[in-house]
A and B are shown apart, each in its own frame.
Chain A
Amino acid sequence: MIEVRNLSKSFDNAKVLNNINMVFDKGKTNLIIGQSGSGKTVLLKSIVGLHDIDEGEVIFDGIVFNHLNFKEKKEMRKEIGMLFQGGALFDSSTVEENVMFPLDMFTEMSFDERRERANECLKRVNIINANQLYPAEISGGMKKRVAIARAIALNPKYLFCDEPNSGLDPKTALVIDNLIKEITIEYNMTTIVNTHDMNSVMEIGDNIIFISNGSIWWEGTKEEIFDTDNNELNDFIFASKLSQKIKDLKNQR
């Protein structure tokens, strides 16, 4: 479980996050939704410590992460997996080397054991016969799956995904969403996903938090989201003509 208490973050006097309080449950896919520029990525990066926060606490299973020193944070991060918006695979390494990297760095496993574990993770995300390809040679969807494989290589307790569907077609996006959901249950992880994709919300959103202008505006489940009377959230959900049409049909019934 991850708990965020009174988190605030500013950049050059511009307040990006304002007194955020939330709890992310273990074994569930927790979604942070909001428009571009609402502060989702800053929030995610503040939780994992890539941004230093101005105020507040980030608590990972009882450990106040932002109070740890550099060395302790480094240790803690071995339990964190993260999927970045663009995949963030190492360009100069092959798919297999990318997945093996955390194993090379932090385990005493033999080369064969590391390769076996990497192949196991790649198989789990349905990447087959691409081990020797470089990131530039694979598709966007494959990059995301390889990044997930790398993120789970060390059996992390926490998984963070920043816009996992950006740049993907709806079908591939669905595959990535379901993969994240399945892996969360399989590894019993605390997963936090940043997204603005409503399909993701409906597919995998166990707990949903809507943020706008750096503050939380709504919290709930995917079952509750369409019945909300929160105007900000409704504007976000029903921004497209398609979703507006669905809403109208629902109201007619």
Chain B
Amino acid sequence: MNLITHIGKYLVLLTRVFSKPEKLTIYYKETIKEIDKLGINSIWIVVIISVFMGAVITIQTAYNTENPIYPKYLIGLTARDTLLLEFSSTIVALILAGKIGSNIASEIGTMRVTEQIDALEIMGVNSASYLILPKIVATIFFSPFLCIMSMFLGIFGGWVAGVSTGVMTSQDYIYGIQYAFVPYYIVYALIKMAIFAFLITSISAYHGYYSQGGSLEVGQSSTKAVVHSSIFILLFNVILTQLLLS
């Protein structure tokens, strides 16, 4: 199947996803469940990765700026901007593409091959909307929290690593993270994160929804979901950066 067909099918699926829900209370309950499943359950992986990445960014910056010309506070500034501009949105989104993208594709794909989606359709339920809309709403709603959490934890990890290894003082780091702070960077990261969340959920759901065959094909759909989500995250990262920062 060529790219145009995939895009067409994806857009048709989205029109079904965003059609009027059968019963709002049920969709609301499903959204709460998805926030727990896709959002809350992703907190730990974001915590661990953010702390360690913040630490690594700080140490690497310190070793690459071991020159008396560069002030020490530059380490904190670099760590902050790296985390705010790229890591807490793009890298966290790529990690989430692996975690929740595969989860969504395999869940919906399994429902497809075990005829659970057919069962929904037979009952008169818009299966695309019922299964996908709560996931999209949940991830768009929750991903900015993960992004903000990642920013704080990354900066904290950087501080711990920098001070404990002695590459700089606590004062330098704190001065650096406050120096020339641009609040818009946070807005930029949150906008990117929300769009990435939509891409991850909708692309993964698309691959799951159109799975055919058995467990092997569901596995393939899950892999495609992660790969395609990651590619589109990187592509949209370029587009959004140009649109939002130029």
Contact = CB atoms under 8 A, between A and B. Distances in A.
Interface stretch (A82-90, A119-127, A190-198, A200-208): A82-90
Contacts of A84: 115, 118-119
A229 interface: no
Interface stretch (B57-65, B80-88, B120-128, B163-171): B120-128
Q: B23, B110, B114, B123: which has the most chain A beta carbons within 10 Å?
A: B123
Q: B110, B115, B124: which has the most chain A beta carbons within 10 Å?
A: B124
16 contacts: A50-B121, A50-B122, A74-B126, A76-B124, A77-B122, A77-B123, A80-B124, A82-B122, A84-B119, A86-B114, A86-B115, A91-B114, A104-B23, A105-B22, A106-B123, A106-B124
A78 B124 contact: yes
Given A84-B115, A88-B116, A102 B121 contact: no
A75 interface: yes
Contacts of A77: 121-124
A160 B112 CA distance: 19
Interface string B24-37: 00100000000000
A105 B115 contact: no
A50 B26 CA distance: 24
Contacts of B124: 73-78, 80, 105-106
Contacts of A104: 23, 26
A104 B26 CA distance: 8
A174 B42 CA distance: 47
Nearest to B130: A105
A33 interface: no
Contact of A106 (B22, B118, B121): B22
Interface of A: 45, 48, 50, 73-78, 80-82, 84-86, 88-91, 101-102, 104-106, 160
A82 B98 CA distance: 36
A42 B115 CA distance: 14
A43 to B, nearest CB: 15
Contacts of A50: 118, 121-122
Size bin of chain B's contact surface: 10 to 19
A88 B110 CA distance: 11
Contact of B123 (A89, A91, A102, A160): A102
Given A77-B121, A77-B122, 20 more contacts: A45-B118, A48-B122, A73-B124, A75-B124, A77-B124, A78-B123, A85-B115, A86-B115, A88-B118, A88-B119, A90-B111, A90-B116, A91-B114, A102-B123, A104-B23, A105-B26, A105-B123, A105-B124, A106-B23, A160-B122
Contacts of B111: 90-91
A45 B117 CA distance: 13
A112 to B, nearest CB: 16
A75 to B, nearest CB: 7
8 nearest A-B residue pairs (beta carbon): A77-B124, A88-B119, A88-B115, A84-B115, A82-B122, A74-B124, A78-B124, A88-B116
Contacts of A76: 124
Contacts of B121: 50, 77
A83 to B, nearest CB: 9
A54 B243 CA distance: 47
Contacts of A86: 114-115
Interface string B115-147: 110110111111000000000000000000000
A102 B121 CA distance: 11
Nearest to A81: B122
Nearest to A153: B123
A86 B110 CA distance: 13
A105 B125 contact: yes
A101 B23 CA distance: 12
Contacts of B116: 88-91
A85 B116 CA distance: 11
B232 to A, nearest CB: 28
Contacts of B123: 77-78, 101-102, 105-106
Contacts of B115: 84-86, 88
A142 to B, nearest CB: 16
A101 B114 CA distance: 18
A99 to B, nearest CB: 12
